[in-house]
Chains A and B, each alone.
Chain A
Amino acid sequence: MYRNFFINILRTFGRNKFYTALNIIGLTIGLVCTILILLFIQDELSYDKYNVNYERIIRLGSDFTLNGKRDRVATSALPFGPTFKEEFPEVEEFVRFLGSGRQQFKYGDKIFYEERIAYVDSSVFKVFSFDLIKGNPDKALTEPNEIVLSETLAKKYFGQMDPIGKILLVGENKSYKVTGVMRDLPSNSHFRYNAFYSMKTLEKIRGTEEFNSTKPISFWSFSNYTFLLLKKHANSKVLLEKFPMYYNKYMKTLGDQLGVSYHLIIQNLADIHLHSDLQWDAPTGNVKYIYILFIIVIFILSIASINYMNMATARSTKIAKEVGIRKVVGAYRENLIRQFLAESVSITVFAFGIALIIVELILPLFNSLVNKNMVLSFSKTPELLLYSVGITILLGLISGIYPAFYLSSFHPSVILKGTFYKGKSSGLLRKLLVISQYAISAIMISGTIIVASQFVYMNNKDVGFNQKDILVAVVRDSVLRARIEPLKQELKKNPNITAVATSSGLIGFGGSKTVHLFEGTQGMEQYALNFNIVDFDYIDLMEMKVIQGRNFSRKFASDTSSAFIINQAAARKFNWNENSIGKKMQFGVKIEGSDGDVRPGNVIGVVSDFNYQTLENKIEPINLLVSEDPRTRRILHIKINPNNRSETITYIKKVWDKFSPNMSFSYFFLEDRMKENYQSEERLLWIFSIFSIISILIASLGLFGLASFMTEQCTKEIGVRKVLGASSGRLVYLLTREFLQLIIIANIVAIPLSYWALQSWLCDFSYRINIGLWVFVVTILSSVIIGLCTVSWHSYRAASSDPAKALTYE
């Protein structure tokens, strides 16, 4: 029975090589996309689950509202870890991570800058499954000035040597003893650390008493990530329920004094990558992309599946006879349905086989596109095999089910009389199927256009300052910070350097925030305001526009002590609008136990709004202060002539090395760094364009096959018409018209859908393009052109064929 089944299937494929090939190509491409996307999704969902204890690990975040401004951050304060362990029996262990920023490492003659380093508690290896290749996990980070390196870093500095016990020089004057080497963190880890310093180091620097202090102010500085390992069967909800008691004990007094409301955020470790939307989080994935990719998979598979349906039912005239014969000799309808389903499933399974090979070949390319390191290994991830085989079989069944029911419904008596009446319903359904294919393609095309234009828009938007040709170097050397002015003078001697300025924070990456007082209708009011401390040359270098009052100037001695320049957003926020100049403001407020700066003063200028955060954020109020205090001169900006770039950079390096022989020079261009902000959009753009090309390609394959069936059927009719004197042009027109109608209807269906979908995507951006009519005009035009090219070849061939031959053909 089954032997007959499959022999028959193979022969059927053999007889219909052309259509079988079209189907296999379509299904294969569809399955390649599916497997790749499944791999991607599986990787995204696997984040942090390599930790044996991942279900018991949670992270504490903070949700606080100060003066009506709510902030939700991924961090908490240093005392949280120890006090939680003390107060809550559910907590088994805690680990804190406190980032240390970029630092220079030195061993022998090897000097590099390293980033993604954190101070961590020694419990880290107990809580997380970080794999220590060398060193004792229980002892590795227990003493001050101990460091654990990633395998890559260890190789980089020590090569073949055993790093354990070696001393690494860090920064200007610190030294660390290597006590462990850990395997590089897996790529599906939300942590990106390359090295860990022992937390004891920080304790030593700050003093044990100060570091472990539980005085109120230390609970309100959300500087570090706190992870808790819960006891088995403990529920993190209990912590949330009991937290008010904790708050009352440790945080309430100062909280009330500051007028802050605070809520604890608890996140499961495994949820961080896809679901965390907190500030100060490590760069996370986006669950939205998973949905988008999922929809794209369904789109592409539907297109491939519709191809199969169309081509299978278009073959119906041929198949009808076979169905009739089989029924006459005793086949039940189920027998035939089973046979057709076996046909469609075998063809998809075959396509799946080819798809696996192709995936294996193009995976490196895909990996570099999505910036991952995935491997196709069914032994490592058997569920992937399960899903992809499941999807393949389902795809085969779905593709086959309609043809199976349609074809098996033919009545044996009608067929055998040779009077086979073509079902009207099948023609209509086929049209509907073609329409849905082209509607899907149209959605993909318009999606690509919109994502691309938004991307171009973000890259070219007037951000309120000129980011071009600004070289940025972060000054970590405190000695150099004190000698910034002479450095600036020396740099400016080069004619290719047009300006040099410093600031405390880097533009484009959010600001620092602190409580300000401002002159409101009822005296001074509080507001948590972004600020950046700049020098006298900063506003000019950035080419920001001063629209009220004046820029900072060295001529006014008071500028460094009491002058503020705010942006328009701040002027609006405080209701000062056009009359901002001279208004009273105060930077910072005095808090008991803190020695923070407080600076009262007046507004001397207003600059027009500039995007100091990414374009996903609206421009918020910001305050600029001027200072020549070395501590504030962290970011060095050098505006250079775009010509002679490399010579200028060599010059800068030379000057830098003269001023700071211990800390080597490293830099980046502001514009490049700003563009990195839009990497995820760029990636989406790539994904969209690739997959929309693929979906159009598959749909065209189907249309090509369908067109060749229809021309085959029309050959005779064309012959008659030509004998009767119709011109080829007219015939091409007739044949093409039907498909064009379908494509245009498809676009009309697609436009509202894609408008709605894209509008909701764009909603995430505060600065976004408008979806213009032209987008859809281009979409329609391109699908019409593609459709025309696909169909017209057949039409032309049929129309230009010899009429006599066509007539004797049947």
Chain B
Amino acid sequence: MIKTNNLVKVFRTDEVETTALNNVNLEINNGEFVAIMGPSGCGKSTLLNIIGLLDNPSQGELHFNGYQVEKYTERQRTNLRKENIGFVFQSFNLIDELTVFENVELPLLYLKVSSSERKKRVNEALERMNIAHRAKHFPQQLSGGQQQRVAIARAVISKPNLILADEPTGNLDSGNGEEVMNLLSQLNEEGTTIVMVTHSPSDADRSHRIIQLFDGHVVTENMRQKL
């Protein structure tokens, strides 16, 4: 599904040049659950953003579902992304002015899904994340775990085949973290490919494979035997 070829990302701010990614080569197959680990600042989020088509690499190739996408315009990337990729973030990133329902509905609006269909799918997703009773609340009225469940509902609402999660449990206590990890595993079992950045070894344990990043390089790729 995803293949990178000597991926390089350089950030330039004023006079400082940071090489966040340096010749990254990796391949992620359909249905995999991959964890990305590494020390702070090694480029994990940068890699996730590029894979998630939020950002273009500075050099190298990126293949997504058979398309070569590294030169795509913002619009082309958006088109691919909104149909294929869902995101989950450490800080949830819900829109404060919108209710839970509306937050989850958002991707469908941009996919121009009809309103009755939207209602049906949002309710299903909320149900599934066990948060339906909070549909009319605003994010700030929810606990962190609940917010993250809403974020996951939003990520899956468009039925993407790839979910990118950047430290999804980073802001949660262990109980809530566990719950989120269960949801992700479940999604993976249903066929969704998952790429997750994490600092937690126990979360990483859930994955099929761990990619270790250090200073922009892939150091090891650790295949795990799925139990």
**A416: which of B93, B96, B98, B110 is its contact (CB, 8 Å)?**
B93
**A11: which of B75, B94, B97 is its contact (CB, 8 Å)?**
B97
Q: Which residues of B contact A417 (CB under 8 A)?
A: 45, 49
Q: Which residues of A contact B205 (CB under 8 A)?
A: none
A416 to B166, CA, bound (A): 10
> What's the minimum C-beta distance from A312 to chain B, rounded to whole angstroms?
15
Q: Interface 1/0s, chain A 407-418, versus B by CB < 8 A? A: 000011100111
Q: Does B142 contact A (CB under 8 A)?
A: no
Contact B109 A4 (CB under 8 A): yes
Q: Which residue of A lies closest to B13 (CB)?
A: A421
A413 to B164, CA, bound (A): 13
Q: Which residue of A lies closest to B158 (CB)?
A: A330
Q: Does B106 contact A (CB under 8 A)?
A: yes
A326 to B154, CA, bound (A): 11
> What's the minimum C-beta distance from B213 to chain A, rounded to whole angstroms?
16
Q: Which residue of B lies closest to A13 (CB)?
A: B97
Please judge, given known A-B contacts A330-B110, A413-B49, whether A325 and B95 are in contact too, CB under 8 Å: yes
Q: Does B81 contact A (CB under 8 A)?
A: yes
Contact B110 A335 (CB under 8 A): yes
Contact A331 B110 (CB under 8 A): yes
A15 to B95, CA, bound (A): 13
Contact A331 B93 (CB under 8 A): no
**A321: which of B13, B46, B93 is its contact (CB, 8 Å)?**
B93
Q: Which residue of B lies closest to A329 (CB)?
A: B107
Contact A329 B154 (CB under 8 A): yes
> What's the minimum C-beta distance from B146 to chain A, rounded to whole angstroms?
17
Contact A328 B110 (CB under 8 A): no
A416 to B167, CA, bound (A): 12
Q: Which residues of B contact A324 (CB under 8 A)?
A: 93
Contact B55 A15 (CB under 8 A): no
Q: Which residues of A contact B45 (CB under 8 A)?
A: 417
Q: Which residues of A contact B33 (CB under 8 A)?
A: none
> What's the minimum C-beta distance from A425 to chain B, rounded to whole angstroms?
14
Which A303-346 residues sit within 8 Å CB-CB of chain B? 321-322, 324-333, 335
Contact A8 B87 (CB under 8 A): no
Q: Which residues of A contact B154 (CB under 8 A)?
A: 329
Please judge, given known A-B contacts A1-B109, A335-B110, A413-B49, whether A327 and B93 are in contact too, CB under 8 Å: no
Q: Does A12 contact B (CB under 8 A)?
A: yes
Q: Which residue, of A4, A329, A332, A335, has the highest number of chain B Cβ atoms within 10 A?
A: A329
**B111: which of A8, A330, A412, A421 is its contact (CB, 8 Å)?**
A330
Q: Which residues of B contact A335 (CB under 8 A)?
A: 110
Q: Does B78 contact A (CB under 8 A)?
A: yes
A1 to B111, CA, bound (A): 11
Q: Which residues of A contact B89 (CB under 8 A)?
A: 416
Which B70-87 residues sit within 8 Å CB-CB of chain A? 74-75, 78, 81-82, 87
Contact B78 A330 (CB under 8 A): yes
> What's the minimum C-beta distance from B138 to chain A, rounded to whole angstroms?
9
Q: Interface 1/0s, chain B 96-115, versus A by CB < 8 A? A: 11100010011101111000
Q: Interface 1/0s, chain A 453-466, versus B by CB < 8 A? A: 00000000000000
Q: Interface 1/0s, chain A 127-167, versus B by CB < 8 A? A: 00000000000000000000000000000000000000000
Contact B110 A329 (CB under 8 A): yes
**B78: which of A7, A8, A332 is its contact (CB, 8 Å)?**
A332
> What's the minimum C-beta distance from B22 to chain A, rounded to whole angstroms?
18
A418 to B45, CA, bound (A): 11
**A328: which of B75, B87, B109, B112 is its contact (CB, 8 Å)?**
B87
A332 to B74, CA, bound (A): 8
Contact B91 A411 (CB under 8 A): no
Q: Which residue of A lies closest to B46 (CB)?
A: A413
Q: Which residue of B lies closest to A421 (CB)?
A: B13
Q: Which residue, of A326, A417, A421, has the highest number of chain B Cβ atoms within 10 A?
A: A417
Q: Which residues of A contact B81 (CB under 8 A)?
A: 328, 330
Q: Which residue, of A15, A325, A331, A417, has the highest number of chain B Cβ atoms within 10 A?
A: A325
Which B38-96 residues sit within 8 Å CB-CB of chain A? 45-46, 49, 52, 54-55, 74-75, 78, 81-82, 87, 89, 91, 93-96
A328 to B109, CA, bound (A): 13
Q: Which residue of B lies closest to A414 (CB)?
A: B55
Q: Which residue of B lies closest to A326 (CB)?
A: B106
A326 to B81, CA, bound (A): 12
**A4: which of B49, B102, B111 is its contact (CB, 8 Å)?**
B102
Please judge, given known A-B contacts A412-B54, A413-B54, A421-B13, whether A330 and B93 are in contact too, CB under 8 Å: no
**B93: which of A4, A11, A325 is its contact (CB, 8 Å)?**
A325
Please judge, given known A-B contacts A4-B109, A331-B78, whether A418 and B95 are in contact too, CB under 8 Å: no
A15 to B49, CA, bound (A): 30
Q: Which residue of A lies closest to B94 (CB)?
A: A325
Q: Interface 1/0s, chain A 396-436, versus B by CB < 8 A? A: 00000000000000011100111001000000000000000
Please judge, given known A-B contacts A329-B82, A411-B55, A413-B49, whether A8 and B106 are in contact too, CB under 8 Å: no
> What's the minimum C-beta distance from B148 to chain A, rounded to whole angstroms?
14
**B95: which of A322, A411, A416 is its contact (CB, 8 Å)?**
A322
Q: Which residues of B contact A1 (CB under 8 A)?
A: 109, 112
Q: Interface 1/0s, chain A 635-668, versus B by CB < 8 A? A: 0000000000000000000000000000000000
Q: Which residues of B contact A421 (CB under 8 A)?
A: 13
A412 to B74, CA, bound (A): 11
Which B147-204 residues sit within 8 Å CB-CB of chain A? 154, 158, 166
Which B6-32 residues sit within 8 Å CB-CB of chain A? 13
Contact A328 B54 (CB under 8 A): yes
Q: Which residue of A lies closest to B80 (CB)?
A: A330
Q: Which residues of B contact A333 (CB under 8 A)?
A: 74-75
Contact B158 A15 (CB under 8 A): no
Q: Which residue of B lies closest to A330 (CB)?
A: B82
Q: Which residues of A contact B96 (CB under 8 A)?
A: 15
> What's the minimum C-beta distance from B16 to chain A, rounded to whole angstroms?
12
A441 to B111, CA, bound (A): 47
Q: Which residues of A contact B54 (CB under 8 A)?
A: 327-328, 411-413, 416
> What's the minimum C-beta distance from A339 to chain B, rounded to whole angstroms?
11
A660 to B78, CA, bound (A): 96
Q: Which residues of B contact A322 (CB under 8 A)?
A: 95, 97
Q: Which residue of B lies closest to A318 (CB)?
A: B96
Contact A327 B95 (CB under 8 A): no
**B75: which of A321, A329, A332, A416 is its contact (CB, 8 Å)?**
A332
Please judge, given known A-B contacts A330-B110, A331-B78, A332-B78, whether A413 and B93 are in contact too, CB under 8 Å: no
A322 to B95, CA, bound (A): 6
Q: Which residues of B contact A416 (CB under 8 A)?
A: 49, 54, 89, 93, 166
> What's the minimum C-beta distance from A318 to chain B, rounded to whole angstroms?
9
Q: Which residue of B lies closest to A12 (CB)?
A: B97
A515 to B113, CA, bound (A): 90
Q: Which residues of B contact A326 (CB under 8 A)?
A: 95, 106, 110
Contact A418 B106 (CB under 8 A): no
A12 to B96, CA, bound (A): 10
A421 to B96, CA, bound (A): 21
> What's the minimum C-beta distance from A541 to chain B, rounded to whole angstroms?
79
Q: Which residue, of B54, B74, B98, has the highest number of chain A Cβ atoms within 10 A?
A: B54
> What's the minimum C-beta distance from B167 to chain A, rounded to whole angstroms?
11
Q: Which residues of B contact A15 (CB under 8 A)?
A: 96-97
Q: Which residues of B contact A328 (CB under 8 A)?
A: 52, 54, 81, 87, 93
Given contacts A330-B111, A331-B110, A417-B49, 13 further A-B contacts (CB under 8 A): A8-B102, A15-B97, A321-B95, A324-B93, A325-B94, A329-B87, A330-B107, A330-B110, A335-B110, A416-B49, A416-B93, A417-B45, A421-B13
- Nearest first, the 10 A-B pairs at minimum CB distance are A330-B82, A330-B110, A413-B49, A11-B97, A413-B54, A413-B55, A329-B107, A412-B54, A329-B106, A325-B93
Chain B residues within CB distance 8 Å of chain A: 13, 45-46, 49, 52, 54-55, 74-75, 78, 81-82, 87, 89, 91, 93-98, 102, 105-107, 109-112, 154, 158, 166
Q: Can you list 14 A-B pairs with a CB-CB distance of less than 8 A? A: A7-B102, A8-B102, A11-B97, A325-B106, A326-B110, A327-B54, A328-B52, A328-B87, A329-B82, A330-B78, A330-B81, A331-B78, A411-B54, A416-B93
